Structure 1
Amino acid sequence: MKALFSAFAVALLAGCASTPDVTTDHDPSADFSRYRTYYWAQEPNTTNPLAQQRIVAGVDRRLAARGMTRQEGSGDIALVANVATSEQQTLDTMYTGGAYGGWGWGPGWGYGGMGSSTTRVRTYTVGTLVLDMFDASTKRAIWRGTASGTVSDSPEKNQAAVEAALDKMLSAFPPGSVAKPQ
């Protein structure tokens, strides 16, 4: 089961219908108009080759839609992707009982019974995908995108979450561009 989580951790995300948390950053001095080609210096490190292929294909599709061409082994931009997972926990506490009665003597009067609480621990996996871009000639970082979310037991939900994360992550790439519909 952990292998499934690790594989889709990259997937990062939401078994529920929530959108992954995505952030991007870039070097404001980088001239993105001069970058036309890219290559994968490091593909995502997942234990599931299908997840890895889907992430690479998703990034490739989005960069091609922005006029960039993938080359093998060299290009203007070197891409590096990393995936990580971590176990998280939440505590859900439910309270019952503890009703207070009226004041006085006799049946039905007086202090009510003791309340009780039940706490449940919910463990879930959070996956994070980090996509870095480096200027291949200077080796300087020029762009970073990070997506993070809850990993589902469902490969279909994880794939949908990856697609949503990549859409959001690369929607304004290159920096300063207007988002283009997919």
Structure 2
Amino acid sequence: MKTVKKIAILLLVGAVFAGCATLRTASDFDKQVDFSAYKTYGFYDKGLEKIRLNNLDKRRLMAAVETTMNAKGFTKSSSPDLLVNLVVVAKERADHYGPGFYGGWGWGWGRGWGPFWGGPSYVNYYREGTIIIDFLDPEKKILIWHGRGAGFNLDSFNKREERLQVGVNEILAQYPPQPNTSN
């Protein structure tokens, strides 16, 4: 009986953590670059001008990147080794729910009696965002690292700052890249 309880608890904990995964992340990088040479960062101003977010969310996204970069040991600078370019791409999504099976028997398909389906259908429309974080080498004028996280619900205001921070953490967890690996 104790074993069954332990397994049930483990499955419950696993389901909770699986539900916490906010984004589908991936990254790519230039394998010829020595990432240990980069110590300072700054935001790419031309990129910030093009972000299609309101100013509140733009500042939240930048703050999330700053928090994560500082935690990784980087220093923000006016003449950085690394430029951070932020992009947010949105697309319309729809989740369909229903109809449910009401069970029982009634007037069914074609002639005669049979099982039937019924119930309302629900559709939830929202904008799903992909957050892209690119690192550019300002001296060489090249892209050296590209990370993205897809699946951010842009229409939900529930715990928005926390969700942005978690999303940025998940994307930047892949930086700096490990030698001989890429996603």
- Cα 1:97–1:54 change in 2 (3 A) is closer
The structure with the larger Rg is 1
Partner of 1:131 in structure 2?
A: 133
1:162 Cα deviation from its structure 2 partner:
0.9
- Cα 1:100–1:30 change in 2 (3 A) is same
Scaled by the length of structure 1, the TM-score of the pair is 0.70
Aligned partners of 1:75, 1:97: CA distance in 2, in Å? 63
Q: How does 1:45-124 map to 2 (within 5 A)?
A: 45-72=51-78, 74-96=79-101, 99=104, 111-113=112-114, 115-117=116-118, 118-124=120-126
Larger RCO of the pair (alpha carbons < 8 Å, separation 6+): 1
Q: Calculate the aligned-residue CA RMSD, in Å.
A: 2.7
1:63 Cα deviation from its structure 2 partner:
1.4
Aligned partners of 1:128, 1:167: CA distance in 2, in Å? 14
Scaled by the length of structure 2, the TM-score of the pair is 0.70
The AA in structure 2 aligned to 1:157 is K
Identity of aligned residues (%): 25
The AA in structure 2 aligned to 1:83 is V
> Number of residue pairs matched?
152
* Structure 1: unaligned runs, 5 residues or longer: 1-15, 102-110, 178-182
Mean Cα deviation higher: 38-47 or 167-176 = 38-47
1:33 Cα deviation from its structure 2 partner:
1.0
CA shift digits 1:44-97 (9 cap, x unpaired) = 72442221112112111221222222122x321121101122211132232435
Aligned partners of 2:21, 2:68: CA distance in 1, in Å? 22
1:132 Cα deviation from its structure 2 partner:
0.5
- Cα 1:124–1:17 change in 2 (3 A) is farther
Decide which structure has greater helix share: 2
Partner of 2:23 in structure 1?
A: 20
Aligned partners of 1:59, 1:95: CA distance in 2, in Å? 43
Tell me which stretches of 4 or more aligned residues in structure 1 moved more than 4 Å: 97-101
Partner of 2:39 in structure 1?
A: 36
Tell me, what secondary structure is at the counterpart of 2:99? strand
1:17 Cα deviation from its structure 2 partner:
5.0
